[in-house]
Amino acid sequence: MVNDDRLGTFACGPAADLIPGASVTCTRTYVIQSSDLGNVLHLPIQQPTNVTYGDWLGGVNSTMDVILSGNAPGSDVPNGTYAGWCIEELLTGSLYDQLATLYTSTHLNLPSDVASLPWGKVNYILNHKIRGIGKTDGEFFKDVQTAIWVVLGEPIPTWGISYDAQQMINAANANPGYVPGLTDTVAVIVYSDGINSTGSDIIQEVIIEAKLGQITNHATATATVGGITVTSNPAEVTIRFVPVYNAVTSKLQNRPAVKSKS
């Protein structure tokens, strides 16, 4: 019998007597799921990049798509489109093919104005999203965004606080020291002009979702011979997914000067 933490327990089948040093081989297939695949090579410590914000409430997997471009092949965070969430609620300034710096929320080198924010709570939300029954994508995204705003200090968010958003807030507050694991989602901060609350030209600071694509299997084998069960030492193998580098850079598009509240 083989006991695998991803494939479960399955029989290898009866084998003829094995002389010392002989072996029997059995095979099972695992189909990689989309949740196994990551979008970054490494979590960035401090990576310059060109950033374009997508339309507010127009994201595919979040309230806003965030497009990165101009990164060299092999960069920690490749060019591409990432799920983005706003840090501040009332600021409307956006980046359009402009320079920003990526910081990983779990690192110690964060700029001073974001270093004290409760990133453990934010990362808990990103890894424990709650989608209410029957909710549309847009409603679900608003709930997650609301929970992020509230744990970051916004007392009265734009859309109020739904039941599902409150559940995420409560769970995050109960886990303030949460640290994402190797295969969890991690908030990466897209840092431009810092955390501000006034000024017409202030840029909205955002986070993007980053994940290392890594599958680690652990397995043991047991065999019963003459009524005696023998268990092997544990075996481990890690397979890492390397995201495809997208060499296509985003183009600056004509956009309205005023953006809806975000």
CA of 183: how far to CAs of 4, 37, 211, in Å? 18, 9, 6
Residue 1 has pLDDT above 90, yes or no: no
pLDDT for 31: 85
pLDDT for 146: 97
Q: CA triplet 112, 118, 124: central angle to 5 degrees?
A: 140
Amino acid of residue 105 = S
Domain boundaries, the chain: 2-31+215-240, 39-209
Please count the CA atoms within 13 angstroms of the CA of 5 that sit on its side-chain side: 10
24-52 as b/e, with b when 16 or more CB fall inside 10 Å? Answer: eeeeeeeeeeeebebbbbebbeebebbbb
The arithmetic mean of pLDDT across residues 189-212, rounded, is: 87
> What is the 8-class DSSP label of residue 212?
B
The arithmetic mean of pLDDT across residues 15-25, rounded, is: 76
Q: How many helices (H) and strands (E) does the chain have?
A: 4, 11
pLDDT in tens, 23-35: 778 888 888 877 7
Burial classification of residue 174, based on how many CB atoms lie within 10 Å of its CB (0-12 exposed, 13-18 middle, 19 or more buried)? exposed
Q: What are residue 81's DSSP bridge partners? A: 67
Confidence category of residue 65, pLDDT binned at 50, 70, 90: very high
Q: What is the CA radius of gyration of the chain?
A: 23
pLDDT for 134: 94
pTM for this predicted structure: 0.81
Measured distance CA(151)–CA(136) in Å, rounded: 23
pLDDT in tens, 217-252: 889 988 887 889 989 888 888 888 888 888 754 444
Measured distance CA(140)–CA(86) in Å, rounded: 15
